[in-house]
Amino acid sequence: MLAYIVRRLLYAIPILIGVNLLTFALFFMVNSPDQMAQAQLGDKHMDPQAIEAWKAQRGYDKPLFINDAEDSDGLLTDTIFFDKSVRLFVLDFGKSDEGRSIAEDIQQRMWPSLAVALPTFVIGLAVNIVFALFVVMFRASLFDTAAMVACVVLMSISGVFYVFAGQFFFARMWNLVPISGYLGGMDAIRFLILPVIIGVIGGIGSGTRLYRTLFLEEANKDYVRTARAKGVPELTVLFRHILPNGLIPILTSVVVVIPSLFMGSLLVESFFGIPGLGSYTLDAIQAQDFAVVRSMVFLGSILYIVGLILTDISYTLVDPRVRLS
């Protein structure tokens, strides 16, 4: 298995170079270093000397890909692309275009992101599974039909609506939770209740439908029929027989997103004022801060690759028939 993991990690390197190249090309097609400097320095009393100094301080005064002024050694290495990309592979994110340490910012902001994403993920998964199992228990009944209609309705409603409705009722009308914001420590709990509830409700429709399909497939198998024939109670059939076997395909969709939880949610963090990595990325895009955008895209790619590898490994753990080679 170790050889497999090493091989997968080596495969990741060209993927990451490609992602980085693509991000770099796209960003510089929209922004020149001069424009980035102007955006950071502001329009009022723009000083050409300040623009040059800003570029020099951040290494944007070099050519993008090829430095004709250099000999063979510096032809490719003394360029913006090389400067900004190679360091990423040792997780040296450098400084944002505002001049702040990106690594420090990521360290600070990943905790609020996790504080929202982790409970939403865990509770959402549990709720969806339990709800899907109950729907399976009453399959082909009026309850099943009603539940599926409800799921479709829940899926059809925009996430922003849940946010507004939740904020309006829970925070504004009933004064039960703060409408938005974030505080560190245990105070964070009060601010997380509403976003987590909304995150869970928002995911019920699609989650339940998917898991119901998977569980129904299991429910029609011979070993389940045998258990029932032996007189095993329905709840035991569901939770002891169907659930463990139904979890295998669920793993594929679940494990891959676990590492990405660090990256936060753009929507929830933005509307609830939670200072996580999702809002960090959004702010950077709005401020045209290429250094931050590039770092976050790179980090997201790494986490996705790690997620895929973890998925493969988890297969071997839950299904002894699968072997990595």
Partner 1 sequence: MKSAQIIYKAMACIGVSLLLQGCSDDSLSRAINSPHPAGEDSQQVVYYSSFSQRPKHLDPARSYSADEGRFIDQIYEPPLQYHYLKRPYELIPSTLTEMPVITYTDADGNPVAENDPALAFSTYTLTIKPGIRYQPHPAFAQNDQQQPRYRFADATASAGYRSLADFTETGSRELVAEDYVYQLKRIADPANLSPIRGVLAEYIVGMDEFAETVSEARKQQQESDPRYQQTGWLDLQPFDFAGVQVLGKYQYSIRLKGKYPQFKYWLGMRFLAPVPRLVDEFYHQPGMADRNIVLDWHPVGTGPFMMTQNDPNEAIILQRNPNYHDDRYPSEGEPGDAEHGLLADAGKRLPLIDKAVYRLEKESIPLWTKFLQGYYDRSGIGSDSFDQAVSVSSTGVDLSPELKEMGISLSVEVVPATYYFGFNMLDPVVGGQSLPEAGQPADPEAQEQARERARKLRQAIAIAYSEEDRISIFLNGRGETAQSPIPPGIFGYQQGPEGINPYVFDWDPTIRKEGSDSVGAPVRKPIDVARKLLAEAGYPDGRDAKTGEPLVLNLDTPTGGGAASAQQVWLIKQFKKLGIQLNIRGSDYNRFKDKMRSGNAQLFQWGWSADYPDAENFLFLLYSKNGQVITGGSGVNASNFSNAEYDRLFEQMKLMPDSPERLALIRQMLEIYHHEVPWASGLHLHSYVLDNPWVRNTKPHGISTATLKYMGIDSRMRESLRKERNQPVWSPLWNVGLVVLVLMIPGYQAYRRRQNQRVLVSPTAKGGHN
* Interacting positions 221-260 with partner 1 (CB under 8 A): 225, 228-229, 233-234
List strand residue ranges (DSSP E) for 54-129, in order. Answer: none
Please count the residues of the chain: 325
CB 44 to partner 1: min, Å: 6
Backbone phi, then psi, for 33, in 5-degree steps?
Answer: -55, -35
Give the separation between CA 278 and CA 206, rounded to whole angstroms: 22
The residue (of 44 and 321) whose beta carbon lies closer to partner 1 is: 44
Write the binding mask 2 to 31 for partner 1: x where contact by CB under 8 A, - elsewhere.
Answer: ----------------------------xx
Q: CB 2: neighbour CB atoms within 10 A?
A: 7
Candidates 48-56, 66-74, 77-85, 302-310 — which segment interacts with partner 1 by CB under 8 A?
48-56
CB 239 to partner 1: min, Å: 13
By CB under 8 A, tell whether 122 contacts partner 1. no
By CB under 8 A, tell whether 180 contacts partner 1. yes
By CB under 8 A, tell whether 50 contacts partner 1. yes
Backbone phi, then psi, for 52, in 5-degree steps?
Answer: -65, -40
Rg (CA), the chain: 25
The residue (of 31 and 316) whose beta carbon lies closer to partner 1 is: 31
Q: What is the DSSP string of 215-253?
A: HHHHHTSHHHHHHHHTT--HHHIIIIIIHHHHHHHHHHH
Residue from 21, 86, 181, 240 in contact with partner 1 (CB under 8 A): 181
Residue from 46, 66, 126, 153 in contact with partner 1 (CB under 8 A): 46
Assess contact for 163 and 271: CB atoms under 8 A. Answer: yes
The one-character DSSP state at 321 is T
Reported as type and span, the H/E element at residue 29 is helix 2-30
By CB under 8 A, tell whether 69 contacts partner 1. no
By CB under 8 A, tell whether 128 contacts partner 1. no
The residues in 192-221 that bind partner 1, with binding defined as CB under 8 A, are: 219-220
By CB under 8 A, tell whether 91 contacts partner 1. no
**Chain mean position to CA 144:** 32
The residues in 141-170 that bind partner 1, with binding defined as CB under 8 A, are: 141, 143, 164, 167, 169
Candidates 20-28, 66-74, 132-140, 254-262 — which segment interacts with partner 1 by CB under 8 A?
132-140
The residue (of 50 and 318) whose beta carbon lies closer to partner 1 is: 50
Give the separation between CA 151 and CA 94, rounded to whole angstroms: 45
